[in-house]
Each structure stands twice: as C-alpha cells, then as structure tokens.
Chains A and B, each alone.
Chain A
C-alpha cells in the first residue's frame, strides 16, 4: 500500500519568515495530494491540494509543489504569522472515476511561528 513520509516533525520559524514542509510517497499511481492544518482541539482542515497533472499551485501565502518523478511534494508558507502555528499533515491518494478513495497521511509537522 501507499506510504507517506513527512519531514520535519517540528519546525520553528520567526514571524515573517518562510516555512517548508516536505513529503514523499511510495505509490507512483497516487494522483491527489492534499495538505491539512490541524489546530489544537479541532479536526484537520484542508488548506490546499494538488493533482498529478500540475506541478505547482498557489493560494495567497501558501503554495504546494509536486515532483512526480521523485515522488515528493512540498508545502511552502511565506510571510508566516502566529496564526499559522498548528500541525500540518500531507496526504496522498489514488483517485479514479471521480469516486472518493482513502487518504494515506504523513505523520505531521508541528509548526511554531514565534514573534
């Protein structure tokens, strides 16, 4: 089955700096890669996703890149703010026919943005 590895497990940056979280996956058939943000006491919230037919996607201060050949994808947060502090999870799945399929999650990265 799919295996997703995520690094680093913890990341501390100063406010205004950039943060990068990296993930690798094992199943070359995986074609959908979402990123989730989980704040304390809450469920994971989808923040951005990318499909295997594109290499990069941006949404304001957040961007995700995908390298299908190397089977890795990354989350980039620019101009970090204290409210970005949370645990971030990457995930991968093999989507076909428009039906939902299971996500395999990474182990999470605890991001702390300091003042």
Chain B
C-alpha cells in the first residue's frame, strides 16, 4: 500500500492567495483527519471525517479554512485568503475506523506551507 498521499509537499505563496492542500487516504479507510503542526502549538486537529461526513470541525481556526471530502479517496483543505500565520506543516491522516481493529491513525508525509 502506498500509504496516505499528500500534495503538494511544499507550497510557498503570498498573503491573500488561495491555497489548496490535497490528500488521498489509504484505500479502505473510513476516516480522514486534517492536522496542523507548528512549533508553538504542536499538533492540532483541524477537522475529521467519518465515511466522508464531517464529524468535528471545532479545530478549524476561522472561516478562511474549509475542508471537503467528496468521495472516500480524496479530500481537500482550502485556505482563502491565506495569511502568514497559516504557515505550518499540514498533515492528513486516515484510519480504518469502523472497518478496522480500532482507532489507529496513519499519517501522510505532510505539506509544508509558507505564506509570505
């Protein structure tokens, strides 16, 4: 299995631009999570989906952030407009959920976002 796939791996953009991060979960996994990692705040859960349905988006910092999961094999995290304080590494993780033995989450390699 290829594991969780994220693209792009690195993104540099200017303040005010729209940024779209992409994730392909492990095939057969029913749950998908978006995290943000910074030195100051550590690993923060932004939003997660079970069976393509958003379950908890309380971690989404503000209305500039939105996430979608149109099908079981694809999810996007969009920031519009982006700000310098959004600079971080964004991780996507997937989990077997109800389809597997438990709560194990498998992380992708992350997207390093820099907003100038």
A interface residues (Cβ-Cβ under 8 A, vs B): 32, 34, 36, 42-46, 49, 51, 89, 93, 95, 97-108
Cβ contact within 8 Å between B31 and A103: no
How distant is the Cα of A95 from the Cα of B50 in the complex, in angstroms? 13
Q: Enumerate 10 A-B pairs (CB-CB under 8 Å) in ascending A order.
A: A34-B104, A44-B43, A44-B107, A49-B102, A98-B98, A99-B98, A100-B31, A103-B103, A104-B45, A107-B42
How distant is the Cα of A41 from the Cα of B56 in the complex, in angstroms? 27
Whether A43 touches B31, Cβ cut-off 8 Å, given contacts A32-B103, A99-B98, is: no
CB nearest to A105 among chain B residues: B43
Number of interface residues of B (CB under 8 A): 25
How distant is the Cα of A105 from the Cα of B44 in the complex, in angstroms? 8
B interface residues (Cβ-Cβ under 8 A, vs A): 4, 30-31, 33, 42-43, 45, 48, 50, 56, 91, 93, 95-98, 102-110
Residues in A with CB closer than 8 Å to B107 are: 36, 43-45
Cβ contact within 8 Å between B30 and A100: yes
Residues in B with CB closer than 8 Å to A42 are: 109-110
Residues in B with CB closer than 8 Å to A108 are: 42-43
